[in-house]
Every structure is written in structure tokens, then in C-alpha cells.
């Protein structure tokens, strides 16, 4: 993105037609995201930028793309994504996203930051060099997410955040949960103040917040939210000047509710809405799409195609104050362009990144690297205490207790919200037992950053497993090891296996590892090609369903999120069960009784 005088002179000369353009897209219909209309024009590109929207046949170029009968749209953007959840490092992720017309990601890398701090962010961003997928960073605001309530691998205080906010790749202070902000903790106020002073956006995490609390959070600087699950929540935010990122990921699917509400309400100004995925597994990207899926689905629900594209392009660029560079097919903007042969179905024919075609007619024109290199120590971040024994993963019963009423984490399929349930469970050998017949399993979170015996334990309903255990070193946001199981021996075996392979996913039954997916970069991401990661993910999810008996559509994505301490009603860290409303540790045991086991109840 050189801005030297000779470069600017070249833009002028090519724009005036005094020198040929480097590339001409001829005969297409431009998707005009400024007026939400269509424009017949030839697009002239000089080096990496659009220099003119010319009348048919008026522009000459060294190369010409025939776009007759097609539509010329801006490259798609994702307003908020934890790129680590794709499990693909940037070169591998580009293989999946470029054919879908996605050219820019706004990433909040607080997953790798919770493991490796500033260095982890720098390594992740460096992996995108030379890749036709642009990364902007929403600087993590909460590392750790729940200070004092979890063990994390790193700490980003006000000084570290201020340093990161000044880097060229930074566009905002990453999502800040309202609990931390409204508590008035000086550390978070310093981070917000620094971001605002630098003219950066402050991203919000406003799950479950409304009324005066919402007003206060917005007043203090939180100017967007990706946690709205209903149109009513979204509308309350937008009416207060808070942008809404409509999320459609793997386990958080809010697009239908919000878009249907927008259409039913007849809202005319959609400039405060944009699309994001937040977290999406690679199998779902391959199977249904990424931001291109959001656009297609909105069109299917009845949204005008050009308006749907606005939510994935110019609205995002404007929100992050980058519309002078991105988000439209217009003079002076980087030539990130998608050529479509069908607008309503958003069917991609060709993708151009910074003026260079990188995909066309089902074929990548960019050569992905054969191997991805990262520092060796970034592959060795999983440390589990050798002193752990099976009973360390179970909830101990109060002395003299033979039957316990306990708090139970209730999984909601395709949502990250966890219900607060209760159940009566039997006690054996001083420990409270799971009840697979009623779909109540053990859940534990094991410290994997420092190798201590710090373990949080509770009970969970909704995974549907009948035997064995499943474990993950991806556990938002602390990314310790989370394991769900029917018995402690299989649970510990799964934990130990993840330590051996450097992190990832594992399924264990009868003491044997039946499936795994290694994720060695920070215990979060693979270095392997897309196809290998998708196959491995399919295998572990299939094992969770067919061997363990889970009925969930995406068992491992669900497992990653049940630990969140900032989303209602419960989370789990190595410090214990977290009541997210009170932001405090809750005892999983409510009381002891001698009654027969009862049903799970709210």
C-alpha cells in the first residue's frame, strides 16, 4: 500500500486514461454499495487499486477479464472472528476462504493471546504475509478474561494493550465483556481510554445486557456487539448507536432471528448491521460457507441482495473507519473484488486480491505453501501435571453425604448460553457420580499452562454421552483442557493424550483413544492443509456421536464454549464453576439429602 508520489501519479494517469490500466474488468454490472443499487461500468485497476468506473469500452488494460452478464462486488469481510476456531493458520485458511470471496478478516486473537501473549499475536499475523487474506486485529482486551477466576498462559495489561493498539494491524480494542467494564476496574478503563484516545473502536461483548446497564456500557465506549441472539436485543442496541454484528458461526446461529426481525420491522437504514462468524469450524466452512453463507442466507430470507452485500462490506469498513481503503468497488480503494455469475445465489466466479486474480472458475491462482513454519516453542504449550489421578477430576461429596443435589450446566444446542439446572445425584466412595441415563456427565477443566493440579469440576447435561470421555485444549477463553465424561479414568486418559500430542481434540472409550485431532500451534491450530483438518474434525465428531453416544450436531465446538465464564448462566475454569451473573465461583454442591434421585430441573 505504497503512497509514494510516483505511485500516486500512476493512479492519476491511469484514472485519466493517459496510461493503460493493469487490469480491466469489462462488461460487468457493479454492485454499488454506496447507493444500494447496480451500475453498468468497466472497472479499471492500476497496481493494487481501482482507479476508474468507466463507460463500456472506454478503458484499456494490459489484462482484461470478460465479465459480461456477471456482477462485480467488493471482497467480503468478517467483522469479528476468532480465527483460531477455524483451526487453520492463515495460509491454510486462505485456501478455504478465497474461493468464497472472503478477502478481509477482523480477528480478535484472544485465544492465542491467552496462551502466548503478545508473541502469539505477532506470530499469527506474520503467518498471513504473502497470503491473499488480509488480517486486521481487534486487540484482545481481556487476557485473562476472568482475572482471579481462571489460570491463563499470559497477561495483557494496559501497557501491553497500548503497545498493540499502536501497531499498523490494529483497528480496535477487542471485545470487552460488560462485567469487566461495569465493575469499574481501573485496568479495563485504562484500556478503553487508550483505544478511544487513538481513535480506535472498542468492541463490546454484551451478552444478556439490557436497560440501564446497556446504556452505561455504550456510554463508556462499547460501540458494537456480536452477542445479540434476538431481533429485540439487536434493535435495543442499534437504537442506542451500538452497531450489531449479526453472528452465524458453528454453534452460535443468530442470523435467521435477527434478519427476519429486520425484514418484518421494515427497517430501511441497515448501516448499523454487519455480518460476522465469531467462531466457525472448517467443516462448516467447507459444507455451507463463511461470510458468503451469511449473504446467501439473508437473501433467501428476503433481503435485497445488494443490501445483504452491504452488511458484509461497506458497513464493516465504515464501522472500522477503513472505508477509504476497503469495502467498495470505487476509485482509490484496494482492488479486492468478487465477480459473481449469479447475484441472488452469490455464486463466485473470480476473486481478485489487491489487483491480482487469485481464484477463477474453481481453481486457485495463488500457490499455498507446502509447509507452514512456526517457532518450535509455539508447538509445546500444553503442560499437564504428572501427579494428576482420576479422582482429581470428580466432585467430592461433603462428609457423610450419600445423595447430593448439585448445580448442572445445561447445554443449549447451537448456542453458547448455558442454562442453570439442578439434579440429585448419588455418592460413591466420597465422590458424586454422573448419571448417563439422565444425560448428566462429569465435566472438568485442567490447568494446561503451568502444569499445576488446579482443576475445576462440575456436572453437565446435554452432551448425551453414554460412555467414555471427550477432551479439548480449546476452551474459551482460558484455553485450559476441558473434558466431559462418564467416568474419571477415561477423562484422565483423554487429558494425558492431549498433553502428549501438543493439544487438540481427543475421544477416549474404555481406556483407549479412538480418535484425535492434533492442534499443535498454541494447542489451538493445525499446520496441516484444509482437507486433513476437516477429515480429522469429522472423525472426532463422529467418534463423539457414534462411540460415546452424543446427539449434538457439533460436539467439539459445543465443548469449546461451555467453559466461558462471561456468558450466562454458568462457565467453568480450573478455579471452579463460575456463576456469570455474579462473576463468582459457585459451589457445584447445593445440599445433601437422603431422597431418591430426582429429575433435572431448572
pLDDT digits (tens, 9 = 90+) for 214-227: 999 999 999 999 99
> Higher model confidence: residue 594 or residue 52?
52
- pLDDT-derived band at 376 (thresholds 50, 70, 90) equals very high
Among candidate residues 9, 125, 105, the one with its CA nearest the CA of residue 353: 105
State the pLDDT at residue 281.
86
In 3-state terms the chain splits into helix, strand, coil percentages (rounded to 5) of: 30, 30, 40
State the pLDDT at residue 174.
97
Does residue 99 carry a pLDDT above 60?
yes
pLDDT digits (tens, 9 = 90+) for 255-300: 999 999 999 999 999 999 999 999 998 989 999 999 999 999 999 9
- 128 class by beta-carbon count within 10 Å (0-12 exposed, 13-18 middle, 19+ buried): buried
State the pLDDT at residue 568.
84
Among candidate residues 404, 540, 409, 407, the one with its CA nearest the CA of residue 468: 540
Q: Which residues, in sequence order, are CB contacts of 44 under 8 Å at separation 6+?
A: 14, 15, 21, 23, 24, 50, 51, 52, 53, 54, 59, 61
- Interior/surface letters 207-239, b for 16+ CB within 10 angstroms, e for the rest: bbbeeeebeebbebbbbbbbbbbebebbbbbbe
- Interior/surface letters 264-279, b for 16+ CB within 10 angstroms, e for the rest: eeeeeebebbbbbbbb
Does residue 145 carry a pLDDT above 90?
no
Provide the mean pLDDT of the chain: 95
- Grid cell, residue 497, equals 493424550
Q: Are residues 14 and 21 in contact, defined by beta-carbon separation less than 8 angstroms?
A: yes
Give the separation between CA 599 and CA 199, rounded to whole angstroms.
Answer: 53
State the pLDDT at residue 115.
97
pLDDT digits (tens, 9 = 90+) for 398-429: 998 999 999 999 998 877 789 999 999 999 99
- pLDDT-derived band at 594 (thresholds 50, 70, 90) equals low
- pLDDT-derived band at 599 (thresholds 50, 70, 90) equals low
State the pLDDT at residue 302.
98
> Higher model confidence: residue 599 or residue 171?
171
Give the separation between CA 318 and CA 326, rounded to whole angstroms.
Answer: 9
- pLDDT-derived band at 595 (thresholds 50, 70, 90) equals low
Does residue 231 carry a pLDDT above 70?
yes
State the pLDDT at residue 305.
98
In the chain, domain spans: 379-592
- pLDDT-derived band at 602 (thresholds 50, 70, 90) equals very low
Does residue 598 carry a pLDDT above 80?
no
Does residue 23 carry a pLDDT above 70?
yes
Q: Percentage of the chain surpassing pLDDT 90?
A: 87
Euclidean distance between the first and final Cα of the chain, in Å?
A: 56
H helices, E strands: number in the chain: 16, 32
pLDDT digits (tens, 9 = 90+) for 239-253: 999 999 999 998 789
Peptide bond between residue 498 and the one before it cis (omega within 30 degrees of 0)? no
Amino acid at each position: 500500500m505504497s503512497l509514494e508520489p510516483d505511485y500516486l501519479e500512476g493512479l492519476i494517469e491511469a484514472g485519466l486514461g493517459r496510461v493503460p490500466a493493469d487490469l480491466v474488468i469489462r462488461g460487468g454490472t457493479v454492485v454499488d454499495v454506496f447507493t444500494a443499487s447496480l451500475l453498468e461500468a468497466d472497472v479499471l485497476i492500476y497496481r493494487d487499486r481501482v482507479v476508474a468506473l468507466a463507460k463500456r469500452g472506454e478503458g484499456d488494460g494490459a489484462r482484461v477479464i470478460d465479465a459480461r452478464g456477471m456482477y462485480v462486488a467488493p471482497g467480503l469481510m468478517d467483522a469479528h472472528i476468532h480465527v483460531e476456531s477455524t483451526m487453520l493458520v492463515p495460509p491454510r485458511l486462505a485456501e478455504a476462504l478465497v474461493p468464497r470471496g472472503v478477502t478481509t478478516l477482523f480477528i480478535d486473537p484472544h485465544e492465542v493471546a491467552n496462551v502466548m501473549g503478545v508473541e502469539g499475536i505477532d506470530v499469527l499475523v506474520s503467518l498471513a504475509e504473502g497470503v491473499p487474506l488480509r488480517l486486521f486485529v481487534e486487540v484482545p482486551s481481556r487476557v485473562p478474561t476472568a482475572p482471579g477466576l481462571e489460570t491463563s498462559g499470559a497477561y495483557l495489561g494496559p501497557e501491553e494493550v497500548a503497545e498493540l493498539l499502536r501497531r499498523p494491524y490494529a483497528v480496535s480494542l477487542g471485545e470487552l465483556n460488560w462485567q469487566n467494564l461495569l465493575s469499574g476496574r481501573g485496568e479495563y478503563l485504562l484500556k478503553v481510554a487508550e483505544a478511544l484516545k487513538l481513535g480506535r473502536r472498542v468492541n463490546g461483548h454484551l451478552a444478556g445486557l439490557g436497560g440501564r446497564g446497556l446504556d452505561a456500557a455504550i456510554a463508556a465506549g462499547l460501540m458494537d456487539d456480536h452477542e445479540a441472539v434476538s431481533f429485540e436485543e439487536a434493535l435495543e442496541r442499534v437504537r442506542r448507536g451500538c452497531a450489531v454484528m449479526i453472528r452465524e458461526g458453528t454453534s452460535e446461529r443468530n442470523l435467521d432471528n435477527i434478519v427476519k426481525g429486520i425484514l418484518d420491522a421494515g427497517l430501511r437504514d441497515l448501516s448499523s448491521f454487519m455480518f460476522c462468524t465469531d467462531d466457525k469450524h472448517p467443516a462448516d466452512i467447507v459444507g455451507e460457507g463463511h461470510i458468503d453463507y451469511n449473504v446467501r442466507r439473508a437473501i433467501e430470507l428476503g433481503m435485497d441482495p445488494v443490501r445483504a452485500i452491504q452488511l458484509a462490506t461497506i458497513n464493516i469498513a465504515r464501522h472500522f473507519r477503513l472505508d477509504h481503503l476497503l469495502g467498495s468497488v470505487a476509485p482509490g480503494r484496494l482492488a479486492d473484488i468478487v465477480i459473481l455469475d449469479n447475484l441472488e445465489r452469490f455464486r463466485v466466479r473470480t476473486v481478485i486480491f489487491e489487483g491480482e486474480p487469485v481464484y477463477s472458475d474453481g481453481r486457485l491462482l495463488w500457490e499455498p505453501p507446502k509447509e507452514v513454519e512456526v517457532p518450535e516453542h509455539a508447538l509445546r504449550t500444553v503442560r499437564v501435571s504428572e501427579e494428576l489421578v482420576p479422582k482429581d477430576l470428580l466432585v467430592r461429596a461433603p462428609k457423610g453425604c450419600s445423595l447430593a443435589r448439585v448445580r448442572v450446566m445445561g447445554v443449549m444446542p447451537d448456542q453458547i448460553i448455558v442454562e442453570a439446572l439442578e439434579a440429585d445425584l448419588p455418592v460413591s466412595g466420597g465422590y458424586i457420580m454422573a448419571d448417563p441415563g439422565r444425560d448428566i456427565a462429569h465435566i472438568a477443566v485442567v490447568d494446561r499452562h503451568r502444569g499445576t493440579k488446579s482443576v475445576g469440576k462440575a456436572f453437565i447435561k446435554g452432551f448425551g454421552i453414554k460412555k467414555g470421555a471427550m477432551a479439548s485444549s480449546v476452551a474459551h477463553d482460558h484455553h485450559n483442557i476441558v473434558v466431559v465424561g462418564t467416568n474419571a479414568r477415561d477423562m484422565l486418559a483423554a487429558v494425558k493424550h492431549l498433553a502428549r500430542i501438543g493439544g487438540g481434540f481427543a475421544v477416549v472409550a474404555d481406556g483407549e483413544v479412538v480418535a484425535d485431532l492434533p492442534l499443535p500451534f498454541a494447542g489451538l491450530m493445525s499446520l496441516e492443509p484444509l482437507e486433513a483438518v476437516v477429515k480429522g474434525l469429522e472423525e472426532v465428531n463422529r467418534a463423539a456421536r457414534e462411540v460415546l453416544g452424543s446427539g449434538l450436531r457439533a460436539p467439539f465446538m459445543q465443548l469449546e464454549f461451555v467453559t466461558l465464564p462471561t456468558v450466562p448462566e454458568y462457565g467453568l475454569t480450573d478455579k471452579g464453576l463460575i456463576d456469570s451473573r455474579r462473576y463468582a465461583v459457585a459451589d457445584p454442591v447445593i445440599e445433601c439429602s437422603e431422597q431418591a434421585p430426582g429429575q433435572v430441573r431448572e
